[in-house]
Amino acid sequence: MYRITNLTTLSCLILFQTWLLKADKPNILFIFTDDHAPHAIGAYNGWLKSVKPTPVIDKLAKEGMVFVNSFCTNSICGPSRAVIQTGKHSHKNGFMNNGNTFDWNQQTFPKLLQKAGYQTAIYGKSHLKGEPLGYDDWAVLPGQGLYYNPDIIFPEGRKRIEGYCTDVVTDLAVEWLNDKRSNDKPFMLMVQHKAPHRNWMPALRHLSLYDDIDIPEPPTLFDDWKDNAPGARVQELEIDRHMDLNYDLFVDLTPNFNQPPSQKRQDRSAWHNMKRMSAEQLKAWRDHYTPRDKAFHEAKLSGKELVRWKFQRYAKNYLRCVKGVDESVDRLQKELKKLGLDKETIVIYSSDQGFYIGDHGWYDKRWMYEESLKMPLIVKWPGVVRAGSRNTDLVQNLDYAQTFLEIAGAPQPKDMQGLSLVPLLKGEAPKDWRKEVYYHYYEYPSVHMIPRHYGIRTKRYKLMHFYQFGNEWEMYDLKTDPDELTNIYGNKKVEKVQKSLTNRLKNLREDYEDDSDVSIRPDYIQLYRKKS
């Protein structure tokens, strides 16, 4: 055995040991937003691409890989996050709807990353209730959180921080990178934004963004859902009937909102945000909206023209919130470069599900239809992912946990239900990759009144079962009908395909051990008939 005889040799040894610990274990920056639809990202080439809403995220896509067929397992905020934490479907991790409480004592990927030598941190929206476990440092929004001057829960307690939420969360992440990050360990940093969640309240600097243009209308803005199962006609997420002029679109803006809301299950978060605003912030909002509201009242719009006006105000505010997120992605990457970490850090951009930006006349998510089922996933991995590549394999948020674990060189527990995306990121084409994805939505009766349903999606077809009110099915050929306007379930021309999908769906439910209750509920039938 050699004796270390001087401090220089000892320092070199320590540096070498640190290098060994971090070798082949890249850092991971996971940027995660709420309700950011892929078609509101330029790189996905959707109908909003002409607006160029995300120049920074688009640049990230050019430097990395875009997953074109990326889907969620349950299109709602908390459950999507629970799936990512555990690598298990909702019925397995116990968080099936936003009313549930997440069991932080169960196995999660951050705990396993810690065991693999990673330093972990999370900032922003958790939406899983309780204090996050598996993180060396954390600061999270209570519930949905507020856009302006939000409360943040820290390990030592709750604090109110002045500013715009997207900026505040970014500040916390940048502070961690500079002051709390260990130089001796690789890291997993999760930056989770509230934006662009309802009520779509942008930063003051973006209030006038897009004022000089009209946002393109989605082709299905005036869909009448005549070929859907009945649930599509009795939902509560229409721009026409359910988007409130005051609470959602800020017409006649006051911090009191004395006007009666337009629906029973009204989202009142705008009211809470207005109460939290400073006098300066509120004045900026009033100065912006007052002349526009005056023009709106003078126009006396109705029918389709009123829907078009509501769409424009909604879509612009949504995209203004997205702009704040895009700036955050820029700032975080610049910080990595400044610290000399950009070459050894994987940057991932994703969101908890898709969203309706007027598609089919709707807003929100929850359905298994494409706009809410699809979620963005863009990965930049220097030296590994081919720049500008696009992957078309079927992937889900179910896969994230195992992907993070393989990146870290950590074992992947056998009870996780996803697949590591690392082979795809390396440009490989596994012959045994999945040929279909499984979906199950549970939250009914609740906000927006979307009936419970489950289904299967292949690269070409989709089959859905709406089981609460009877034996209702929908089936679509996504190749010939990408907007899902023609329900072909029961069509004799696709009888063989339908039978095959039905069997594959049954097998998926068995493989994932989904034995959750899918019985027809008489009380729901009564409620459903009353609404319809």
Q: Between the CA of residue 509 and those of 153, 158, 418, 455, what are the distances in Å?
A: 38, 42, 14, 9
- Strand segments, DSSP code E, in 40-178 are 65-67, 70-71, 119-125, 137-141, 151-154, 157-160
Question: What pLDDT, on the 0 to 100 scale, is given for residue 459?
Answer: 98
Predicted structure pTM score: 0.94
DSSP assignment letter at 344: G
Q: What is the pLDDT of residues 195-246, one digit of tens each?
A: 999 999 999 999 999 999 999 999 999 999 999 988 999 999 999 999 999 9
Give the range among 4-18, 199-213, 325-339 with minimum mean pLDDT.
Answer: 4-18
Single-letter residue type at 483: D
pLDDT at 16 over 50: no
Q: Would you place residue 96 in the very low, low, confident or very high pLDDT band (cuts 50, 70, 90)?
A: very high
Lowest model confidence (mean pLDDT) among 88-97, 136-145, 514-523: 514-523
Report the share of the chain in percent with pLDDT over 70.
94
Integer Cα distance of 466 and 159 in angstroms? 43
Q: Are strands 119-125 and 472-477 parallel, antiparallel or unpaired?
A: unpaired
Fold adopted by 31-200+319-426: Alkaline Phosphatase, subunit A (3.40.720)
Does 114 or 17 have the greater pLDDT score?
Answer: 114
pLDDT digits (tens, 9 = 90+) for 375-410: 999 999 999 999 999 999 999 999 999 999 999 999
Give the C-alpha separation, 234 to 469, whole Å. Answer: 12
Domain 439-531 has CATH 3.30.1120.10: yes
Whether the per-residue pLDDT at 260 is higher than 70: the answer is: yes
pLDDT at 107 over 80: yes
What's residue 23's pLDDT? 54
Q: Give residue 522's pLDDT band: very low, low, confident or very high (50, 70, 90).
A: confident
The tokens for 423 are 């082979």
pLDDT at residue 527, rounded to an integer = 67
- Residue of 39 and 518 predicted with greater confidence: 39
Residue 190 bridge partners (DSSP) = 30, 122
Which one-letter DSSP state was computed for residue 354? -
Where does the pLDDT of residue 20 fall: very low under 50, low under 70, confident under 90, or very high at 90 and above? very low
Domain layout of the chain by residue ranges? 31-200+319-426, 232-314, 439-531
Q: Is the pLDDT of residue 471 over 90?
A: no
Q: Does 71 or 530 have the greater pLDDT score? A: 71
Tell me, what's the pLDDT at 531?
Answer: 66
In this structure, of 175-184, 251-260, 326-335, 405-414, the range with the lowest mean pLDDT score is: 251-260
pLDDT number for residue 19: 45
Q: CB-based burial of residue 284 (10 Å sphere; 0-12 exposed, 13-18 middle, 19+ buried)? A: middle
Split at pLDDT 50, 70, 90, the class of 1 is very low
Q: What is the mean pLDDT of residues 12-41?
A: 77
Structure tokens at 155: 């390990």
**Amino acid 18: pLDDT:** 47
- Mean pLDDT (whole number) for 127-144: 96
- Sorted by sequence, the CB contacts under 8 Å of residue 288 that are 6+ apart come out as 207, 208
Instruction: State residue 283's pLDDT score.
Output: 95
Higher pLDDT, 261 or 521: 261
pLDDT of residue 302: 98
pLDDT over threshold 90, residue 525: no
Rounding to the nearest 10 degrees, give the CA dihedral for residues 41, 381, 176, 410: 120
Instruction: Determine the pLDDT at residue 22.
Output: 56
Report the chain's mean pLDDT, rounded to a whole number. Answer: 94
Average pLDDT score over residue span 252-271: 84
- pLDDT for position 532: 63
Q: What is the DSSP string of 94-134?
A: T--STTS---TTS--HHHHHHHTT-EEEEEEE--S-S---S
pLDDT tens digits for 290-312?
A: 999 999 999 999 999 999 999 99
What are the distances in angstroms from CA 334 to CA 60, 61, 329, 377, 503?
12, 16, 9, 20, 50
